[in-house]
Structure 1
Amino acid sequence: MSRVSDLERRFAPASIEGRQLVGLAAPYESETRIGEFREVIARGAFARTLSENRDILALCDHDPAKVLGRTKSGTLELKETVHGLEFRLQLPDTTIGRDLRELANRGDLGGVSFGFRAVRDSWEGDLRTLHEVELHEISIVSAWPAYPDTTVALRSRPIVMRWIDPRRAWLETVR
């Protein structure tokens, strides 16, 4: 059984259009700096989690009191592509959902993040490769993303990509 205290979180940039958010929550083979080490996500790292049909949440700022959607209800769809973990999220007609839409339209969102537990990883010097992760949630966040290649866009307009300086990336490990 997984413990919330072991979850790692990664952040990536965001942008929005419409009522449906779509984007890349975790890019494959895109190296980033996480504090004192570098990290990369290997292709297929999310395959097992997705095949298990787990209930994965979409949250606002990693707050479980701010649920935006979930795979169990079909309001969050996740899939692996050649680029990484892609998502489609139906924003709720709630204060948080409307606020996120407005922030996205203004370009004020910081990015997309994901909370996970590493199942299998490897190290080569200061480079950590995530080969298999147990995904718990993705979040739309106002903070800086760790993976600058991540995108989010609100459907009903063209997708807009916003890149965040990877030197501002950070790691949050709940202990």
Structure 2
Amino acid sequence: MTELEKRGGDLGVEVRADDGGKKTLKGYAAVFNRDTTIGDYFIEKIAPGAFDKALHDDVRALVNHDPGRVIGRTKSGTLRLDVDTRGLKVEIDVPDTMDGRDLWTLVERGDVSGMSFGFRVTKQEWDETGDLPVRTIHEVELFEVSAVAFPAYDDTSLAVRSLEAARTERANHNLLAAQRRIAERRAAMEQKIRGIRQDTP
């Protein structure tokens, strides 16, 4: 089962309507190099390039991360994703459905003012030299973007498990490295002993 994390921020979402009646929501689902504290456990930031591969994924646009409330899709061209120096840009052609009309009204009123995204990390880096660990996300698999009423960072438990997995991997690596050094020293000592024995008349 895919462990889907969700992140968001109060980056704002705009409504744009043209003369032909086409309605489009625009905003940023994520920004790069912004430090965000996750549940007082660690700091997280997204590195430029993290979404480059994800731009080719078949991504859905949802309302409040609800998979039953699809309002756009990259495959159909009703959701468009792009990356600039700031972050992940989102454009959604709002459908003439109940969800679409309601969402348009809520964004116009300012009741819905944020965007968020659902993802799985495929490449990351942890730095624990500071007061709080720092997680830098270098690459993600992107599943959905959402217009949300509460664009708070959540799914902290999944990210904490990722930190624990990184610590376990590092501990295992250190253990293997220590075992290798011990084996190398033992082999060198045995070779030295063999040499002494050969030199002894």
The residue that corresponds to 2:155 in the other structure is 172
More strand by share: 1
How far 1:110 sits from its partner (Å)?
A: 4.4
How far 1:170 sits from its partner (Å)?
A: 3.0
Structure 2 counterpart SS, 1:103: helix
Match of 2:54, as an amino acid?
Answer: T
- What is the aligned counterpart of 1:8 among 5, 8, 18? 5
Q: Percent identity?
A: 46
Change (3 A) 1:39 1:110: same
Give CA deviations for 1:12-51 in whole Å, capped at 9, x if unaligned: 223332320111111011111111211100000011122x
Structure 2 counterpart SS, 1:108: coil
Give CA deviations for 1:87-142 in whole Å, capped at 9, x if unaligned: 11100111111111111111111411100000011111211100001111101111
The residue that corresponds to 1:77 in the other structure is 80
Q: Tell me the C-alpha RMSD between the 2 structures.
A: 1.6
CA contact (8 A) 1:12 1:110 kept: no
CA contact (8 A) 2:13 2:26 kept: no
Q: TM-score normalized by structure 1?
A: 0.78
More off after superposition, 8-17 vs 21-30: 8-17
Structure 2 counterpart SS, 1:101: helix
Quick check: which has more Rg, 1 or 2? Answer: 2
1: CA distance, partners of 2:49 / 2:13: 25
Q: TM-score normalized by structure 2?
A: 0.68
Structure 2 counterpart SS, 1:120: strand
Structure 2 residue 35 is matched with structure 1 residue 31: yes
Deviating 4+ runs (over 3 angstroms): none
Unaligned runs of 5+ in 1: 146-168
Structure 2 counterpart SS, 1:33: strand
More helix by share: 2
How is 1:123-138 mapped onto 2 (pairs within 5 angstroms)? Answer: 123-125=126-128, 126-138=133-145
Unaligned runs of 5+ in 2: 17-22, 159-201
Change (3 A) 1:24 1:170: closer
Change (3 A) 1:63 1:34: same
2: CA distance, partners of 1:44 / 1:141: 24
Q: For this pair of structures, how many residues does the alignment match?
A: 146
